């Protein structure tokens, strides 16, 4: 009897010991799985390595964002790029022993190669997070549906009705309070408005619709009149003093006479503007597109109270003041002056920059020249809104001296283009078609960098 009880107790001890060992192995396996085993070794396949001597093994863990719940899920391999996935470079990182190495850059090329730069240690691990997105100028950028980021914009057919054949219904625009759309240009910070539709001069009286990267300076270059003439100021952009200044002494990176705010009253004085430091520097001029045909159509708010999507169509229409052109390009010349396609933003650019997407389609932006309640909720999450009065490029069509502007409350209304109304100016340009983004994540500290192919 005693022997049987001893065997029973001994069997229990053995069972407990075995159970404990199994638990330890399971826990250890889970830890191992999460710390290393999920990483797949990559040496030559789809990898461009850094300065690591052989064997120089590089390990990847792949995570794919679940579009339904927004959570990242572990995967065995790279998500299918043909399904529209790109690498979230802000969240992805590489390092050794679980520590992020900020000197290592990891990104996904448009041809499907994972590229890692700056490796110094063998057996580096990279956590790669993939989400839905689009490649813009060689850079994979996540596309969002809420919050700050890059949005896909679908223009209704009525919005592009009557436009040139080939005008695309979709664009990509940055929206939100502070999206990662900073770009290093002209040795200073600019910001990407988006990849937008634009008409391009192909020569021999031929044009085409292309999508180009549109950027705007992050800060104002000062307060200026839209047109300096006190008696016959015009909202014809092709003739305005502001257009000539931007494409003259500002583009040429020099000092010269221009009409600007004198700082003491609401008046414009003929003063010397020195752009030798802040003007367009030679090394960046070669990426500015000079083949752009800017649409400068307008509308009459007394007749029409437009929404943002309607504004988009009016800007690209042919409605202007009598005898005023509705297009402007580098082929417009006056005397010996040649223009280089430096312009201003459209009012609709401000509208599409809000992350409150319902504002774009449902709310009017003006009311016969009277401000509307569109702006307060919409502009709380709009990176293009500034505490300033800022000129737009778009004229009104009801008479020849009025131009649209955004004020420090966010209201978009028309105002006099003549000399005594000085507002802030944010130069806006399109980039050449063969420009690429070579690095950066778009934050103000790590702005996108450019070069020509």
Lowest mean pLDDT among 234-238, 394-398, 415-419: 415-419
267-293 burial by CB neighbour count: b if 16+ within 10 A, else e?
Answer: ebeeeebebeebbbeeebeebbbbbbb
pLDDT at 287: 92
DSSP state letters, 290-359? S-EEEE---B-TTT----HHHHHHHHTS---STT--SEE-TT-EETTEE----B---HHHHHHTBS-THH
**Which position has the higher pLDDT, 220 or 79?**
220
Average pLDDT over residues 336-364: 80
What's the pTM value of the predicted model, to 2 decimals? 0.82
Spatial distance between the Cα atoms of 69 and 223, rounded to a whole number of angstroms: 47
pLDDT recorded at residue 339: 62
Token pair, residue 110, equals 């448009």
* Least trusted range by pLDDT, from 232-236, 280-284, 392-396: 232-236
> Is the pLDDT confidence value at 177 over 80?
yes
Q: What is the pLDDT of residue 41?
A: 41
What is the β-pairing status of strands 93-96 and 99-100?
antiparallel
Q: What is the pLDDT of residues 242-278, one digit of tens each?
A: 898 899 889 999 888 776 655 555 555 566 788 988 8
Average pLDDT score over the chain: 78
Cα–Cα distance for residue pair 257/277, rounded to 1 Å: 16
Mean pLDDT of 382-408: 86
Cα dihedral 446, 140, 212, 405, rounded to 10, equals -50
Which segment, 45-54, 67-76, 182-191, 348-357, is predicted with the most confidence on average? 182-191
Of 317-326, 363-372, 382-391, give the range with the top mean pLDDT. Answer: 382-391
Rounded to the nearest 5 percent, the helix, strand and coil shares of the chain are: 20, 35, 45
Among positive and negative, which fits the CA dihedral 134, 135, 137, 139? positive
Most confident of 94-108, 371-385, 410-424: 94-108
> Does position 427 have pLDDT exceeding 90, yes or no?
yes
Separation in Å, CA 7 to CA 2, 12, 14, 17 = 9, 9, 10, 15
> Once rounded to an integer, what is the mean pLDDT over residues 417-432?
86
Question: Is the confidence at residue 78, as pLDDT, over 70?
Answer: yes
Q: 233, 363, 364: which is closest to 301 by C-alpha?
A: 364
> pLDDT grade, residue 52 (50/70/90)?
very low
Please give the helix or strand (H or E) that residue 114 lies within, else none.
Answer: strand 114-117
Residue 216 and residue 420 in contact, taking contact as beta carbons nearer than 8 Å: no
């Amino acid at each position: 009897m005693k022997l049987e009880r001893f065997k029973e107790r001994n069997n229990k001890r053995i069972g407990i010991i075995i159970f404990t060992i199994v638990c330890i192995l399971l826990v250890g396996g889970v830890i191992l799985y999460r710390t290393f085993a999920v990483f797949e070794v990559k040496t030559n396949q789809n990898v461009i390595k850094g300065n690591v001597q052989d064997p120089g093994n590089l390990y990847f863990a792949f995570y794919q964002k679940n579009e339904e719940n927004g959570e990242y899920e572990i995967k065995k391999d790279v998500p299918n790029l043909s399904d529209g996935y790109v690498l979230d470079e802000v969240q992805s990182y590489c390092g050794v022993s679980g520590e992020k190495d900020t000197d290592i850059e990891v990104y996904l090329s448009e041809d499907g190669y994972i590229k890692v730069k700056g490796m110094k240690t063998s057996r580096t691990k990279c956590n790669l997070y993939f989400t839905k997105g689009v490649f813009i100028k060689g850079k994979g950028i996540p596309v969002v549906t809420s919050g700050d980021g890059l949005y896909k914009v679908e223009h209704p057919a009525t919005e592009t009705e009557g436009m040139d054949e080939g005008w695309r219904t979709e664009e990509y625009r940055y929206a939100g309070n502070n999206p990662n759309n900073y770009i290093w240009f002209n040795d200073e910070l600019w910001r990407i408005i988006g990849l937008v539709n634009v008409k391009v001069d192909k020569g021999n009286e031929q044009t085409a619709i292309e999508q180009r990267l549109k950027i705007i300076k992050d800060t104002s270059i000062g307060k200026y009149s839209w047109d300096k003439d006190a008696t016959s100021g015009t909202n014809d952009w092709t003739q305005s003093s502001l257009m000539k200044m931007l494409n003259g002494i500002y583009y040429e990176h020099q000092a010269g006479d221009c009409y600007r705010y004198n700082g003491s009253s609401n008046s414009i004085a003929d003063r010397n503007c020195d752009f030798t430091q802040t003007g367009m520097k030679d090394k960046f001029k070669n990426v500015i597109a000079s083949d752009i045909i800017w649409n400068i159509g307008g509308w009459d708010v007394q007749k029409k109270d437009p929404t943002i999507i309607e504004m988009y169509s009016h800007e690209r229409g042919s409605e202007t003041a009598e005898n005023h052109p509705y297009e402007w390009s580098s082929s417009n010349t006056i005397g010996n002056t040649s223009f280089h396609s430096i312009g201003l933003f459209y009012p609709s650019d401000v509208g599409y920059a809000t992350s409150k997407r319902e504002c774009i389609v449902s709310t009017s932006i003006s009311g016969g020249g009277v401000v509307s309640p569109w702006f307060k909720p919409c502009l709380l999450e709009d990176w293009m809104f500034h505490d300033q009065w800022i000129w737009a490029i778009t004229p009104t069509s009801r008479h020849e001296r009025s131009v649209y502007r955004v004020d420090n409350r966010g209201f978009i209304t028309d105002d006099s283009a003549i000399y005594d109304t000085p507002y802030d100016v944010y130069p806006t340009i399109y980039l050449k078609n063969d420009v690429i983004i070579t690095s950066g994540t778009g934050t103000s500290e790590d702005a996108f960098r450019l070069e020509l192919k």
